């Protein structure tokens, strides 16, 4: 076994074998008859170059069983590959550069590189070993935000071919059995990837044979075998990334960057007057985070919760144990709040008609109305265009008061991904999540939606301005329409529903029916049903908002979460028998609760000894 290295010293390029920190200099051709010159050099006295000069670097996608299983990728019938441009080739120990023309995320991908030793075309798998010179470490650096920037064409070569993005080396190791190798990636001292070559769909010999049927492979060409689980962002100002393959070597590079501003408008926004209508789980979380960030916050609520906030402020218990108390103005009706810059409608959908009757007292000429309800919004068809433009959803706005009282030009839609609960008057407990994607109803990226994004960022939350907020609403509603009513009927948590075969199957059936409805409305889902269920399962033993309402004896969001989707099913002539059945049960449960004036909670029974 040998480790071959290329170097530069005193302006001259050379190569040789590396043992410890000593290079035995060779002459001739690295791939054909290299001979030792008798000269030796210290590694510390040379500048390391890439270990070869490829005519091309071929990179693989979807080449590992574990990664495919996690992302629900199908096993490819043949290698899926693309080219990385030669200007990207970059050696060990030299800094990776952030492109001046790109401000998005840059990710590492630790990979095994196969180095070709002899020219070949159309060879068999059995012959491939004769044409492989050895193996090297590869960091397939990627400007990931460019990859799917254009929905009509995935830009693999563009996102991966910036200068310094094709890092490989520092050596080529020969005489190895690649099937015994594992690839590790260590970012800033923490292991991020650790996966075996044996998990490949197309291991090195099979891969070389398959690719040789497409292109002539030349000595020095590198085939980067693709990456597996754990590829991620180099997100700090100073990053040290090491690709380590025992038996091959360690490829180390620094990636320094001036972190791009998280604010779309370049700086934190000036303080805003924000009124949150309904300081429950999500409304309370937002009110507290905004107030702690320096915004002038008012909340509108009722009863003991209002009294507690007025007396002691709103306590926010974050999932990591951090507890903060936010002070804010707390009132019982809109007329006491005054004019606002932003009004956040955070009450349950079925209470909106009561709230908006007096909303005018809070609206100035430029006031934005942000909706954060679960399920589909009453404004779904407003400013949509097409066949159903301005159609009113009677299940959500039966009297038309929402449509009448809130100008759609004021509205910005929002999807709520965090899970939280109001655990006591004046107390909000955060369970997980911090994402609040937002979007204009017509999909435009306006100055005001950018500023609202920056308000979320200033508060320490995550946001994203989406060109199609409705598709994201459907993605969230997809889970709500199944998990919420199933939990309300069974008193099971998310993880319980997902791990119980029959309810998991019921949820999937309801989601398939909803997907059929949405697709007739032009909506596309960016994840599969199984992945959406897996995401809910990962939240753990969380009680859905509808189950929390059942236990507290509150009116249920039946129409927003289920009825509105059934209305769309009728509108599009789509069958939805599973959704209809669950809707009937939850609707009756809601009626019984309201008539009896109580809730229902499953508690342990104290059995007599």
Q: Is 37 found in the same domain as 76?
A: no
Location of structure tokens 């009113």: 392
Q: Could you please report the per-residue DSSP string of 151-203?
A: TTS--HHHHH-STT-EEEEEEEE-S--GGG-EEEEEETTEEEEEEEGGGBSS-
Confidence of residue 450 (pLDDT cuts 50, 70, 90): very high
Long-range contacts of 212-215 (CB under 8 A, 24+ apart): 212/120, 212/121, 212/122, 212/123, 212/128, 212/131, 213/121, 213/122, 215/56, 215/58, 215/121
Residue 323 contacts by C-beta under 8 Å, 6 or more apart in sequence? 315, 316, 317
Confidence of residue 455 (pLDDT cuts 50, 70, 90): very high
Q: Is 463 found in the same domain as 322?
A: yes
Quick one: the chain helix, strand, coil %, rounded to 5? 35, 30, 40
Residue 116 lies in a domain: yes
pTM above 0.95, yes or no: no
**Tally of domains within the chain:** 4
Q: Is 174 found in the same domain as 243?
A: yes
- The two tokens of residue 556 are 């249920």
Q: Is 519 found in the same domain as 441?
A: no
User: Max CA-CA distance within the chain?
Assistant: 96
Distance CA 146, CA 60 (A): 18
pLDDT in tens, 80-109: 999 999 999 999 999 999 999 998 999 999
Q: Is 477 found in the same domain as 411?
A: no
pLDDT reading at 1 higher than 90: no
What mean pLDDT do residues 462-485 have? 93
State the chain's mean pLDDT as an integer.
Answer: 95
C-alpha closest to that of 557 among 270, 351, 312, 287 = 351
Q: Is 219 found in the same domain as 149?
A: yes
Q: Is 44 found in the same domain as 24?
A: yes
- The two tokens of residue 111 are 């990979």
Q: Could you tell me what percent of the chain has a pLDDT over 70? A: 100
- The two tokens of residue 165 are 């993005």
Residue 117 burial by Cβ neighbours in a 10 Å radius (0-12, 13-18, 19+): buried
Dihedral of CA atoms 355, 361, 365, 367 in degrees, nearest 10, equals -40
Q: Is 252 found in the same domain as 272?
A: no
Catalytic positions: 476
Confidence of residue 608 (pLDDT cuts 50, 70, 90): low
pLDDT of residue 353: 84
> Hey, how many other C-beta atoms are within 10 angstroms of the C-beta on 582?
23
pLDDT reading at 117 higher than 80: yes
Last residue in a domain, options 416, 445, 467: 467
Which CATH number belongs to the domain containing residue 135 in this structure?
Answer: 3.90.850.10
Any idea what the Cα angle at residue 465 is, between residues 352 and 237, rounded to 5°?
130
Pairing relationship of beta strands 427-432 and 419-424 according to DSSP bridges: antiparallel
pLDDT in tens, 128-149: 999 999 999 999 999 999 999 9
Residue 609 lies in a domain: no
Distance CA 138, CA 109 (A): 8
- Please, are residues 298 and 274 in contact by the beta-carbon 8 Å criterion? yes
pLDDT reading at 362 higher than 90: yes
Out of 162-166, 279-283, 356-360, 511-515, least confident range:
356-360
Dihedral of CA atoms 336, 339, 340, 344 in degrees, nearest 10, equals 50
Location of structure tokens 């075996």: 196
Last residue in a domain, options 442, 467, 492: 467
Q: Is 163 found in the same domain as 287?
A: no
Last residue in a domain, options 467, 482, 515: 467
Q: Could you please report the per-residue DSSP string of 58-100?
A: EEEES-BHHHHHHHTPPPPSS-EEEEE-GGGEE-TTS-B---T
- Please, are residues 486 and 507 in contact by the beta-carbon 8 Å criterion? yes
Which CATH number belongs to the domain containing residue 511 in this structure?
Answer: 1.10.1040.10
pLDDT of residue 357: 87
Higher pLDDT, 609 or 46: 46
Provide the residue range defining the domain that includes 16: 2-48
Distance CA 35, CA 27 (A): 5
**Under DSSP, is residue 315 helix (H, G, I), strand (E, B) or coil?**
strand
pLDDT reading at 171 higher than 90: yes
**Under DSSP, is residue 573 helix (H, G, I), strand (E, B) or coil?**
coil
pLDDT reading at 125 higher than 90: yes
Q: Is 485 found in the same domain as 463?
A: no
pLDDT of residue 260: 76
Q: Is the dihedral of CA 13, 15, 20, 24 positive or negative?
A: negative
**Which helix (DSSP H) or strand (DSSP E) does residue 582 occupy?**
helix 577-596
Q: Is the dihedral of CA 337, 338, 339, 341 positive or negative?
A: negative
Residue 550 lies in a domain: yes
pLDDT of residue 527: 87
Q: What Å distances lie between residue 247 and 108, 137, 267, 315, 564, CA to CA?
A: 21, 11, 48, 54, 60
Distance CA 586, CA 603 (A): 21
C-alpha closest to that of 329 among 366, 291, 357 = 291
Which CATH number belongs to the domain containing residue 25 in this structure?
Answer: 2.30.30.370
Q: Is 385 found in the same domain as 365?
A: yes
Q: Is 277 found in the same domain as 204?
A: no
- The two tokens of residue 323 are 């507890």
- The two tokens of residue 147 are 């990859």
- Please, are residues 278 and 347 in contact by the beta-carbon 8 Å criterion? yes
What mean pLDDT do residues 19-31 have? 96
Dihedral of CA atoms 382, 384, 390, 393 in degrees, nearest 10, equals -70
Which CATH number belongs to the domain containing residue 439 in this structure?
Answer: 3.40.50.720
pLDDT in tens, 371-389: 998 889 999 999 999 999 9
Residue 534 lies in a domain: yes
């Amino acid at each position: 076994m040998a480790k071959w290295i290329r170097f530069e010293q005193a302006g001259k390029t050379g190569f040789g074998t590396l043992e410890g920190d000593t290079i035995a200099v060779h002459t001739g051709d690295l791939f054909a008859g290299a001979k030792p010159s008798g000269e030796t050099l210290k590694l510390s006295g040379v500048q390391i170059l890439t270990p070869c000069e490829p005519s091309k670097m071929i990179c693989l996608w979807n080449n590992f069983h574990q990664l495919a299983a996690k992302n629900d990728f199908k096993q490819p019938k043949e290698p899926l590959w693309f080219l990385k441009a030669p200007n990207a080739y970059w050696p060990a120990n030299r800094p990776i550069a952030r492109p001046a023309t790109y401000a998005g995320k840059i990710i590492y991908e630790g990979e095994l590189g196969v180095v070709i030793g002899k020219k070949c075309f159309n060879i068999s798998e059995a012959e491939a070993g004769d044409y492989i010179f050895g193996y090297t470490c590869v960091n397939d650096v990627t400007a990931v935000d460019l990859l799917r920037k254009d929905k009509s064409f995935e830009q693999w070569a563009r996102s991966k071919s910036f200068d310094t993005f094709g890092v490989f080396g520092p050596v080529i190791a020969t005489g190895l059995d690649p099937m015994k190798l594992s690839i590790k990636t260590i970012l800033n001292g923490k292991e991020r990837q650790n996966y075996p070559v044996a998990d490949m769909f197309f291991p090195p010999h099979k891969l070389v044979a398959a690719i040789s049927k497409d292109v002539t492979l030349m000595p020095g060409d590198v085939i980067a075998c693709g990456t597996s689980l754990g590829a991620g962002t180099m997100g700090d100002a100073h990053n040290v990334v090491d690709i380590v393959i025992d038996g091959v070597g360690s490829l180390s590079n620094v990636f320094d960057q001036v972190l791009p501003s998280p604010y779309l408008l370049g700086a934190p926004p000036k303080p805003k007057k924000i009124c949150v209508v309904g300081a429950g789980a999500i409304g309370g979380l937002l009110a507290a985070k905004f107030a702690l960030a320096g915004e002038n916050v008012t909340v509108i609520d009722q009863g003991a919760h209002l009294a507690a906030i007025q007396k002691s402020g709103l306590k926010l218990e974050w999932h990591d144990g951090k507890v903060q108390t936010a002070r804010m103005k707390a009132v019982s009706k809109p007329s006491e709040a005054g004019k606002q810059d932003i009004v956040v409608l955070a009450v349950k959908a079925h209470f909106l008609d009561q709230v908006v009757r007096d909303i005018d007292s809070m609206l100035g000429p430029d006031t934005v109305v942000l909706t954060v309800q679960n399920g589909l919004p009453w404004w779904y068809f407003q400013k949509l265009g097409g066949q159903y433009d301005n159609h009113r959803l009677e299940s959500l706005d039966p009297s038309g008061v929402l449509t009448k009282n809130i100008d759609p030009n004021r509205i910005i839609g929002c999807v709520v991904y965090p899970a939280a609960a109001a655990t006591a008057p004046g107390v909000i407990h955060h369970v997980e999540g911090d994402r609040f994607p937002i979007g204009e109803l017509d999909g435009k990226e306006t100055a005001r939606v950018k500023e609202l994004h920056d308000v979320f960022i200033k508060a320490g939350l995550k946001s994203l301005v989406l060109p199609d907020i409705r598709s994201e609403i459907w993605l969230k509603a997809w889970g709500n329409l199944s998990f919420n009513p199933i939990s309300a009927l069974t008193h099971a948590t998310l993880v319980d529903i997902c791990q119980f075969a029959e309810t998991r199957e019921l949820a999937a059936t309801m989601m398939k029916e909803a997907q059929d409805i949405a697709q007739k409305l032009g909506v596309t889902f960016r994840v599969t049903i199984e992945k959406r269920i897996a995401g809910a399962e990962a939240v753990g033993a969380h009680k859905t908002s509808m189950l929390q309402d059942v236990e507290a004896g509150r009116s249920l969001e039946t129409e927003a979460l289920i009825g509105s989707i059934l209305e769309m099913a009728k509108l599009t002539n789509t069958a939805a028998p599973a959704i209809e059945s669950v809707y009937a049960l939850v609707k009756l449960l809601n009626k019984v609760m309201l008539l009896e004036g109580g809730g229902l909670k499953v508690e342990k029974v104290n059995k007599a000894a």
